[in-house]
Amino acid sequence: MKKTVKITAVVMLLVLTVACFVGCGEKNDEKIYKICSDNSFSPFEFWDNEKNAYVGIDMDILAAIAEDQGFKYEMNNIGFDAACGNVQSGQADAMIAGMTINAKRTPIYDFSEPYFNDGQIMCTSKDRVYANLEDLRGTVVAAKTGTAGAEFAESNKEQYGYTIQYYEDSPTMYQAIVNGINSACFEDYTVAASAIKSGVALKTVGSVLNPSPYGFAVKKGCFPELIEKFNAGLKNIKANGKYAEILAKYGIEAQ
Ligand code: ASN
């Protein structure tokens, strides 16, 4: 009897170990973490033609933290929804993508300490007159698949009587509003402000909704050491001024 219990315990341990490896991707000493991100979410991540590379607050924060903590990674800017899919399927180990920490995500991701705070804001074309959510009744709102902005649009669509059209990235979503295909979207305030500053013909309406923190994320239960390193590095780059320097480089005040 005792032996059976022992064998069962060993088998269970083996199964659990294998399950963890399968669920979290491979792990070894020379680990190069596969990290993915959004592809057009300025000032957090965006393509820089001159540098021929993705740049932005997230890109710089992660580089500074990896340097501080001595870990290696490769970055894949595949878009927000794709990044979420890759982390959940184990094709990627982690993501940094201006990702809002919210109740829908905490059961399936482990997040770092917050590294920024932002909420969504309603955006319309510069010359349209939707003054509030009520005015969106009967219109088609634009949303970026899988985002906190989409979640806001979804949770209010019955009450305010609009339907939703989905896009894969922020610039395509903005263009649909500018071109009059859609009435409005709910975008992170800092990102909407950056787009407007760069000449996108949108305006923000009302005040910031759902202010929440941004976090670096792994699939729930995977790579706890990476979250620990991110948190330790974040603390260090905040203490040594690097964090404020990165934000300032992109015209954002340190929080
Ligand atoms: N703040 C957005 C979200 O968490 C991120 C994004 O669109 N890149 O859904």
pLDDT in tens, 48-84: 999 999 999 999 999 999 999 999 999 999 999 999 9
Ligand 1 mutation pick, 77, 118, 144, max ligand atoms within 8 A of CB: 144
Query: Is pLDDT of 28 > 70?
Result: no
Query: For ligand 1, atom 7, which residue shows the shortest CA distance?
Result: 147
Q: How far apart are CA 232 and CA 139, in angstroms?
A: 46
Ligand 1 mutation pick, 102, 147, 166, 186, max ligand atoms within 8 A of CB: 147
Query: What residues pair up with 32 in beta bridges, in sequence order?
Result: 72
Task: Summarize pLDDT for 74-100 with one digit per residue, the tens.
Answer: 999 999 999 999 999 999 999 999 999
pLDDT number for residue 24: 80
Q: Which atom of ligand 1 is nearest to the CA of 151?
A: 9
Count the Cβ atoms, other than its own, within 10 Å of residue 254: 12
The tokens of 218 are what? 């792994």
Q: Which atom of ligand 1 is nearest to the CA of 144?
A: 7
Query: Is pLDDT of 189 > 50?
Result: yes
Q: If pLDDT is split at 50, 70 and 90, which confidence band does 4 have?
A: low
Q: Does residue 81 have its Cβ closer than 6 Å to ligand 1?
A: no
CA 167 to chain centre: 16
Amino acid at 43: P
Q: How far apart are CA 77 and CA 155, in angstroms?
A: 28
Task: Summarize pLDDT for 101-137 with one digit per residue, the tens.
Answer: 999 999 999 999 999 999 999 999 999 889 999 999 9
Average pLDDT, the chain: 92
Query: What residues pair up with 72 in beta bridges, in sequence order?
Result: 32
Distance 46 CA to ligand 1 centre (A): 14
pLDDT number for residue 6: 56
The tokens of 53 are what? 């590379």
Distance 188 CA to ligand 1 centre (A): 7
